[in-house]
Structure formats: structure tokens, C-alpha cells
Amino acid sequence: MDFFLCVLGMVFIIEGLPYFAFPEKLKVYMAKISSIPESTLRLLGICAIITGLILLYFGRR
């Protein structure tokens, strides 16, 4: 459980960095995201999930 909480904390830190460091650029980026088709966003999401699972597999090995 301790390891899980550390990983979750790191995720929050990494996710929060762009909001803190580049808030003006993030607004422009989010506006561009709204114009991307949902199918493309889903494909990017599944690619991120698969990459994360592969990293977990090799990290836990």
C-alpha cells in the first residue's frame, strides 16, 4: 500500500506540473484538444494505457 501511495503521489505531481508551470499554454492546448475527433483521443488513451502496462510489467520484473 505504501508503494501505491508513493506512485499515486508521483502521478499527481507530474499531472500538476503543466498546470503550474504553463497555465496560459495549457488553455490553448485544451482548446485544440476539443477539435480532435473522439476516436483519435480514444486511440491515444489506449496507447497510453498499454504503454503504462508495459512499463509496469518491466518495472515489476
Reference 11, options 59, 40, 52; nearest CA is 52
What's the rounded Cα separation, in Å, for the pair 29 and 18? 11
> Which tens digits make up the pLDDT trace of 31-54?
999 999 999 999 999 999 999 899
Residues constituting the chain: 61
Q: Which helix (H) or strand (E) holds 36?
A: none
- Full-model pTM: 0.69
**pLDDT band at residue 60, thresholds of 50, 70 and 90?**
confident
